[in-house]
Chains A and B, each alone.
Chain A
């Protein structure tokens, strides 16, 4: 738990289409630091989500890893050892991340068991549930995934990440399908955990409003490459890549009173 920087170098992923390999992620360098939020932005199909998976050594079926080294504080690590203890994840569709026949308590017990600390369940579960804004821990602990809304499940994902004690959080479109009130709560929760726990966050999004709300640094992806990285204020003030200009152009069209 002493790692401060999670990085990937030269990540290359390819899939087969019509029998021929197509490189979807073409040599990416990306880093996440404790206490900071890095946003990975880009159009659909630019390779954002694959990069996010690649950073934790995961590849979806049919996708092959051609290259890339994951490092913790500069030391090469076997990426498959990261999920759980080092890296927690939050995804767009939280429902698919839960086992439908297990209660929240059982999910929490499993997560703590990975850490070798199942005995701390009764002490830690109410603590993290309160921290993510899920009141009445006794009631929540008994619920099954189908009894919970998308926003509650998203908070539960973050609670499990806290139980795992992972210093890094990879969040792939964590608020895209949520209504604006829940979205605001989740973003402010992530921001607060960055401040209080020094969590290092990579957030994948296509919404520059989310970037403006939460990010410190931004990496812009296009067709499998990172075409620009910049601190958030610099990117908004003076985007250098076509991809960033397109994203910001669409974003600004939504705020006629600010960018008239």
Chain B
């Protein structure tokens, strides 16, 4: 299977300068390698501050690694020419957590979704409008919503607009960085089911960055865990779902319960505060 996107031993350090003067540089990623193949759905799990979003930004070419390489279809994304960048953008699309920050509030929904179609495809205006209507239906919105402004939609609806925009150029890989975590669970499942359907029909691959272990078990076939800037797990999702590394196990242990139980609510047992 073709490797669509790969981070190879990437390093990232931040710091040196700040509001309160130069501080020590902080290493955020240490020699991290992660690849996503055609049609694969890979989860990237980790607590906050583990480096998940930094890795995502490196893999999207939004920031440069201090060491190592990111490759798209085998070519390093650093130093791509114009045609190469176009191929990269057509191959990999992304959806982020904050939907309202990711759209121009003055542009109508139709224009927002058509944006990648204008830049990355040869569709004419009429074909673009037809594709926008199709995409809106696909994410559970109405074709008439194309004429609305983002401000008149709810956060969840704008998030679906962002997903429609990512789907627009038919990318081979979509990176979702906590892209559904601010939707309610019913909506999260609807969207993830929809994406799973696309994966089945079109073979679209996903890199799914989340802190919800429960979603990983349902939607991914491989899971990688970042802890303190290092990749501590990279394994298939299989039953029983377990990890070896203590930090990864801690994430699993913290998973919310499936059902209420008197033992859980026996609050006298909760006399200990975790640090």
Contact = CB atoms under 8 A, between A and B. Distances in A.
Interface of A: 43-45, 131-133, 135, 149-151, 176-185, 188-189, 191-192, 194-195, 206-216, 232-233, 236, 246-247, 249-259
A253 B189 contact: yes
B275 interface: yes
A257 B239 contact: yes
Interface string B207-234: 0000111110110000000000000000
Interface of B: 46-49, 154-156, 181-189, 211-215, 217-218, 239-241, 250-251, 254-261, 264-265, 267-268, 270-271, 273-275
A44 B273 contact: no
Contact of A254 (B217, B240, B273): B217
24 contacts: A43-B184, A44-B156, A44-B184, A133-B274, A149-B48, A150-B48, A180-B211, A180-B256, A191-B270, A192-B270, A194-B267, A195-B270, A212-B259, A212-B260, A213-B256, A213-B260, A213-B264, A250-B188, A251-B185, A252-B258, A254-B215, A257-B241, A258-B258, A259-B258
A43 B187 contact: yes
Contacts of A176: 181-182
B256 A195 contact: no
B161 to A, nearest CB: 15
A47 B189 CA distance: 21
Contacts of A184: 254, 274
Q: Which 3 A-B pairs have the closest CB atoms?
A: A209-B256, A195-B267, A206-B184
A212 B258 contact: yes
A43 B157 CA distance: 13
A255 B258 contact: yes
Contacts of A178: 48
A118 to B, nearest CB: 27
B258 A185 contact: no
Given A182-B48, A250-B186, A177 B181 contact: yes
Contacts of B251: 180-181
A258 B258 CA distance: 7
Contacts of A132: 273
Given A207-B256, A213-B257, A233-B260, 20 more contacts: A44-B155, A44-B156, A132-B273, A179-B47, A180-B47, A180-B255, A181-B251, A182-B47, A188-B274, A191-B267, A192-B267, A192-B270, A195-B267, A206-B184, A209-B255, A213-B256, A214-B265, A247-B186, A249-B186, A256-B239
Contact of B260 (A149, A211, A249): A211
Contacts of A236: 259-260
A179 B225 CA distance: 13
Contacts of A177: 181-182
Given A207-B185, A212-B259, A181 B273 contact: no
A179, A194, A252: which has the most chain B beta carbons within 10 Å?
A: A179
B188, B214, B215, B275: which has the most chain A beta carbons within 10 Å?
A: B214
B250 A254 contact: no
B221 to A, nearest CB: 14
Nearest to B46: A179
B184 A256 contact: no
